[in-house]
Structures are given as structure tokens and as C-alpha cells.
Amino acid sequence: MKRIVTNLALFLVCFAVIAFIVSNKKNAHSNTTKEQVPQSLEIPRIINSNVSGTIIKHTGYTVSFNSDWNIPNWVAYELTKEEVAGDEPRSEHFLPDPEISNCPTTDDYKNSGYDRGHMAPASDMKWSETAMKESFYLSNICPQNHNLNSGDWKSLEEHLRTMATQYDKVYIACGPIVSASPKTIGKDHKVTVPAAFFKAVLRQKGDSWSAIGFMFANEAGHKKLSTYAMSIEDLQIVTDLDFFYNLPDKIEEKVEATYSLSDWDLK
């Protein structure tokens, strides 16, 4: 009888330990950030664990907002020919993102010498009144050189809209590249000025996939878009981001290793 009691007690202790471990695993899983649980092809994941990011899903795009920099780590969205054909007028009303505590405001950009540069462009959000309004949230904005914003960066945005009319889907991830000792603007929020910007683009037509990366210095200049092009593999090294990892391995390896300028109508 004593042995039975002892065995029962041992069983209860083991059961309690197992329950504790399972509970901890469940809690750990429930505390996993959205950064670790990607939802779609365009959303990258941050390789550098020291970089913070709060992920917010808006109507037309998803943003990983860095509250240390007060700009996004990245902005990602899917673009189709139906969306490009939208006719919603441009908003022009820049607003703090209501999902972000202490979000930057337009005051931070006043007299800074920098444009309020969209990451997900307003012209890609013409398919929805809400998407258009949310594209002007300051979480989607970075301090950007005016010549770049209205020049080569805009030219690439227009080029990708053309791509979207010719393919089933275009997936775009874009954002800033921040130097080790960045400049800031704004007295209230110290908004980081990026050294450069990137775009990672994946397109699909039936069973055919291709991808290309771009990097622009945050400075004036007018060059051919091909000048800024690079492979996704190289862009991942520069940005410390992992793009398009939800693709099947064979497709991912192929599209990330190489790119063709002529295939993307670039000269």
C-alpha cells in the first residue's frame, strides 16, 4: 500500500512538471510577436534581433514600425491591376498613425529640408478611400530627399504599377536603410533620416516567378533605374531582412539569386 501511495505521489509530481512545461510553451507561443509570424509573401522578417518593430496591418499595407527610429523598418503590400485602376482621389492629409503611441507628426518635418516620403505610395492605394487615407499615416513616411522623392523613387513606383497591369500579382516590400550614426529631424520625436531606401519586388504570372531588388541613396540624383537594381540576395545582406521566404525553397533560391534587367523592362 505504501508503494502504491509513493508511486501515485511520484506520478502526480511528474504530471505537474509536464503540465508546467506545456503551459510555459503555450505562453511562449502566445507571446510570439507578429514579427515572427508572417502572414503573406510580401512581408519580410528582420534578421537582426536587436531591431525592434511593431507590426500593424492597415487596409492597403502592413508596416513594421520602429519606435526607436520613429520610421518604419519596412512597409509591404500586394499590388494588382485592379488596384492600379482605382480612381480614389489623392488625400494629401498626413496624420499620426492611431495604432502607434507617440507617433511622429507633420511638425517633425517642418523646415527640415526633407519631404514626407511615402513608402507605400498613395497612387497604389487609389482602390479604396480607407487605403488612401491610411497611406498618409506617418508610420508609412520617412524623411526623403526631395529630388529622390519626386524623381527616381517616383519613377520606380510608376514602373511597378505598369508591371502590376501585366502580371497576376506584384509583391512589394520597401523601407529605409539606416546608418550607424544617423541624423534626426524634429524636436518632439527625433525622426531618423535614412541613409538610403530599398525596394524588394516579387511578381507572379501563372507558375512563373521573378524578383528584383533596388537601393537608392537618400540624395539628389537622376539615373537610369537599372543603376539601382540588384539581386534580392545582395539586398538582403544590405538590409538585414529576409524577403520572400514563404516561397517554396526551389522558387525562392532561383528568384533571389539572379535578376534580368530586360525581363523587368529596365535599361
DSSP state of 67: T
118 catalytic, yes or no? yes
Instruction: Output the CA torsion sign for 147, 152, 156, 158.
Output: positive
> How open is the CA angle 162-117-128, to the nearest 5 degrees?
55
235 SS3 class: helix
CA–CA–CA angle 95, 96, 99 (5° rounding): 125
Look up residue 192 and give its DSSP letter.
Answer: E
Contact 241, 44 (CB under 8 A): yes
Say which residue the cell 539601382 belongs to. Answer: 228
Residue 76, classed as helix, strand or coil, is strand
For 47, phi then psi, to 5°, come to -80, -40
Q: Pick the catalytic residue from 29, 118, 159, 189.
A: 118
Which three cell numbers, joined as nine digits, stand for 64?
A: 513594421
Write out the catalytic residue numbers.
118
